[in-house]
Structure 1
Amino acid sequence: MSKAYDVIIVGSGPNGIAAGITLQKAGLSTLIIEGRDTVGGGMRTADLIEPGYRHDICSAIHPMALASPFFTALDLRAHGLEFIFTKYQAAHPFDDGSSAFLSRSISETAEGLGLDREVYRDLIDPIVSEWDYIASATMGPFEFPKRPLLLAKFGLQALKPAATMVHKFKETHTRGLWAGMSAHAIQPFTNIASSAIGLILSAVGHKYGWPIPKGGSQAIADALVSLYTSLGGELKLNYFVKNIDELAPYNTVMFDLTPKQILKIAGHRLSAAYKKKLESYRYGMGVFKMDFIIDGEIPFLDERCGDAATVHLGNTYEEIAAAESLTSKGGYPEKPFVMLAQQSKFDNSRAPAGKNTVWAYCHVPNGSTRDVSVAVENQIERFAPGFREQITAKSTMNTAQLEAYNPNYIGGDINGGIIDIRQLFTRPTVQLRPYRTSDQQIYICSSSTPPGGGVHGMCGYHAAKTVLKDCFNILL
């Protein structure tokens, strides 16, 4: 590695590639280094169990890909990316055989919520209507808003604990649907700002949908890399960087990595005060992942659940809230909240005819190596009796195995650090431009910076803008 580059990016997740695209468009020379033989970070798809069965290893459903200001500015369709949409964006079944649904239509969703229809509409409709501004104002570092009253109105709701917000709703179906949305925040519902993710995912579902990429999540990574290389960007695979000093000559280095990894690779270049801040960075709950090959389709009690690629399994708000709280304290609920995806039902490139792949995970304590597969299967069987008999093959990944597969998943934390009020905009440290480190040549562009986890590229985009301004005097 002797060629000199303006910027070297370590890590090829959505944020690393987003940073590379942004820098290449500005006329810089860049190199992305990836430790694996395929790009993508959390956007990988592989024949995990048997040949011909395509499983998304990490991320599966991608509402934020369409809601991201960065992604929407790119013509990724020209690079082979195609999304598939389903009738319902998410389904939430209950023990009595009924279900709640998130539809593209606010009216259709609201009508299914009985007495809560107007409350739901009043809560979500303003976010959908003003999403473009809300996205630009919240999906990045904290800045003084151009429309402070509008953002304050959104913030007053988003900063509430999900456990407070639920009191707006009377219907069991609405409360359960809200719990499923809020659980994507991967934290107790009593935490301040735990409503933010639930509000955003609901609104984005109405505005854009919760699509699945045709061929798997790898298709997003491949399209991004295709664009990146078409702009002249360079890529090096199968190379795990162990020390920053081994890199080729560069002006700037950007890490699409979390603080724990950066300390190992470049800690000797950072000030003692900054290292102490990174050492105090907090990671959240982990996930236990399962993949299945089944005969036929999942036999949900409510057949309409088959019209959604995403199904939230957890029954009532109270049950889900208790499970998330117990897990956050290091416990293991007998009935965990399970996120399930059935991509192959809508994408026949994922499995042979008559067969299906199923993707599922539940939250577990960070660093857990306990096998909770029985609990996960029991939850699926609970809402789809006969599912277990359909299984022909399966695989499991505990938090240690997930971290081994993707080192950014410290202890199984898929968000690059807990996104609570203390680390919402101040991740990984408290500063106006959190992408900077104490070394003027080293920057962070991972989900450990604002706006956090998800396949949206906004962390990489904002980090690249900071690098362009600081190191090359280029303003975007």
Structure 2
Amino acid sequence: MSAPDAVVVGSGPNGLAAAVILARAGLDVELYEAADELGGGLRSKALFRDDIVHDVCAAVHPMAAASRFFRAFDPAARGVDLLLPEISYAHPLDGGRAGLAHHSLDATCERLGPDGPRWRALMAPLLDRSRALVDLMLSDQRHPPTDPAVPFLLAGRVLRHGTPLAGRQFTGPEAAALLAGVAAHVVGPMPTPASAAVGLLLGHLAHGTGWPVVRGGSGALARALADDFTAHGGRVHTGRRITDLREFHRSRAVLLDVGPKEFLRIAAPRLPARYRRALAAFRYGPGAAKVDYLLSGPVPWANPEVGRAATVHLGGSHTEVFRQETLVSRGVRTDRPFVLVVDPAAADPSRARPGARPLWAYAHVPNGDDTDPVALVTARIEAYAPGFTDTVLASRGVSAAALEHYNPNYVGGDIAAGAMTLTQSLIRPTLRPDPHTTPLPGVYLCSAATPPGPGVHGMPGYYAARSALRHEFGLRRLPSLAPHPPA
């Protein structure tokens, strides 16, 4: 039997994106996944009741509404609905106060009082150049920006919000907490230029293309990608964990949706010593400890408006967020960690049933922490939603250590697949002219450990596939990703 032209290992959003592009280019492509089902971070499943779907990993998808790959792939045209809540995200504070990032910038500014003009001055210029900003921050970091004004817009804002000056930018607690909460998605010490950049990217999208949830669960997006791949001749192998890269030696291109640790596991004997050392030195960030809940009703937030948001950040004031994130990044476990909560039914009522609805949450904890997080996360939610415990019908905790067993790319529970420091934001996983290539001919990396990093946007797969098509097959033009029947 002849070998395929190309092989993709790993079926997270990046592996699926690469597989779709290669198959649409007319290549014979095979996709291998260690788990019994495709999707990686996009998997959804019933955990407690057959009629209630839970998102196992990613639940909210700002990048799936904004990235270059998904703009071209057009999920909506394939029947995948990205549903926008009226409030993109909320940040409760003590005493029933809360910062509310409405999808409408005007509504957000009105509610922020004296800080409203400051919020508008921060976000409005970014919204005016949103597509160029997204494309810059989700670039392969090897090409000039399409809009030269965007780096200058970012630079001043990053300096103000990514340094000790961050605490002086707003007069009230709500606006400062709103930005700190979204910047905490970097999962690392704060404030830093990296956290500020993430906060500005995700923060402005909250008022632009939004922070959507997928109707019916994130798995619908994975299925759309897999369906397109197989419709164009791709073949899928699940339940196959690759142990030795040499089994694909006859294929012209091998694209790996794996992190440095997994790459070393399957390819170390073939890699140059210097490159092996560089991969072994790759740093990982704090872990995420996940809790899935089945609730009898909506979360009883002290501020009822918080219930209109699909995403809620629990971290207290901006200074508390900074302190807790910095402690966790140093390996210190605390009883007041930053917690991210997603209530998918706030945007997608079909996810709930009478007397039952899913809730998704994770806490930032030290890398490799093996503590069951249910009690910790429940207490954090209860602090801002008195009576929450009484609504819990069932729960399931997954420690940071266990998260790596679920997905080896999440080393120690690091869902960012590598610490998002300033250096590792620019150099992932090692310094190379093309960061998606490796020293092995025809072998490419396309995981979140390569630029532009974590998130459900497909761009590492996009760049790796583009590079492979150019170097291995002489194809310099990417195929159309628009929905259409295969040729």
Q: What TM bracket, shorter-length normalisation?
A: over 0.9
TM-score by length of 1: 0.96
Matched-pair contact (CA < 8 Å) for 1:163–1:189: no
Residues 267-278 of structure 1 mapped to structure 2, 5 A cutoff: 267-278=268-279
Give the aligned partner of residue 155 of structure 1: 155
| Contact 1:162/1:182, CA 8 A, preserved across alignment | no
Which stretch of the first structure deviates more once superposed, 80-89 or 194-203?
80-89
Q: In the TM superposition, what are the counterparts of 1:227-242 in structure 2 within 5 Å?
A: 227-242=228-243
Kindly indicate whether residue 18 of structure 2 is the aligned counterpart of residue 23 of structure 1: no
Is the contact between residue 176 and residue 317 of structure 1 (CA under 8 Å) also seen in structure 2?
yes
Partner residue of 2:46? 47
Aligned equivalents of 2:212 and 2:129: distance in 1? 21
Letter in 1 for 2:384: F
Distance, in Å, in 1 between the alignment partners of 2:247 and 2:445 is 18
Q: Does 1:74 align with 2:94?
A: no
Which residue number in structure 1 is paired with residue 173 of structure 2? 172
Secondary structure of the corresponding residue to residue 199 of structure 2:
helix
Contact 1:166 / 1:178 at 8 angstroms: preserved in 2? Answer: no
SS in 1 for 2:351: coil
SS at match of 2:241: coil
Secondary structure of 2:157's counterpart equals: helix
Where do 4+ consecutive residues of structure 1 move more than 6 Å? none
AA partner of residue 113 (structure 1): L
Tell me if structure 2 keeps the 8 A contact 1:3–1:248. no
Structure 1 residues 139 and 462: CA distance shift in structure 2, 3 A? same
Aligned to 2:483: none
AA aligned to 1:76 is P
Amino acid at match of 2:63: M
Distance 2:422 2:58 in 1: 24
Q: Does the aligned pair in 2 maintain the 1:141–1:425 contact within 8 Å?
A: no
Q: 1:149 Cα deviation (Å)?
A: 3.8
* Residue identity (%): 37
Q: Displacement, 1:163?
A: 4.5
Query: What's the secondary structure of 2:364's corresponding residue?
Result: strand
Q: Name the counterpart of 1:280.
A: 281
Q: Which residue of 2 aligns with 1:4?
A: 3
CA offsets per residue over residues 353-411 of structure 1, 9 Å max, x none? 22111111110111110234322111101111000011111100001211111111111
Distance 2:473 2:291 in 1: 45
Cα deviation, residue 348, structure 1: 4.2
- Partners of 1:235 and 1:359 in 2: CA distance: 29
Whether 1:306 and 2:307 are equivalent positions in the alignment is: yes
Matched, 1:140 2:139: yes
- State how 1:193-204 maps to structure 2 within 5 Å: 193-204=194-205
Deviations 1:214-260 (A, max 9, x none): 11111110111111222222211111111112337310111100000
Per-residue deviation, 1:201: 0.7
Unaligned runs of 5+ residues in structure 1 are none
Q: Does 1:32 align with 2:35?
A: no
Change (3 A) 1:176 1:130: same
Please tell me the residue identity of whatever aligns with 1:246: E
Deviations 1:138-161 (A, max 9, x none): 212222334434323323423652
Displacement, 1:447? 0.4
Structure 1 range deviating more: 449-458 or 233-242: 233-242
Aligned residue pairs: how many? 475
User: CA separation in 2, counterparts of 1:245 and 1:278?
Assistant: 19
Is 2:244 the partner of 1:243? yes
Closer/same/farther in 2, CA of residues 150 and 428 from structure 1, 3 Å limit: same
| Structure 2 equivalent of residue 462 of structure 1 | 463
- Residue aligning to 2:57: 58
1:118 and 2:148 equivalent?
A: no
Letter in 2 for 1:273: R
CA contact (8 A) 1:164 1:190 kept: no
User: Aligned Cα RMSD in Å?
Assistant: 1.6
In structure 2, the residue matched to 1:256 is 257
Aligned partner letter, 2:241: F
User: What do residues 198-217 of structure 1 show as CA deviations (whole Å, max 9, x unaligned)?
Assistant: 10111111111111101111
| Contact 1:79-1:227 within 8 A present in 2 as well | no
Deviation at 1:285, TM superposition (A): 0.6
Q: Is the CA contact (8 Å cut-off) linking 2:166 and 2:191 kept in structure 1? A: no
Do the aligned residues in 2 keep the contact of 1:187 with 1:325 (CA within 8 Å)?
yes
Task: Map residues 443-458 of structure 1 onto 2, 5 A cutoff.
Answer: 443-458=444-459
What corresponds to 1:265 in structure 2? 266
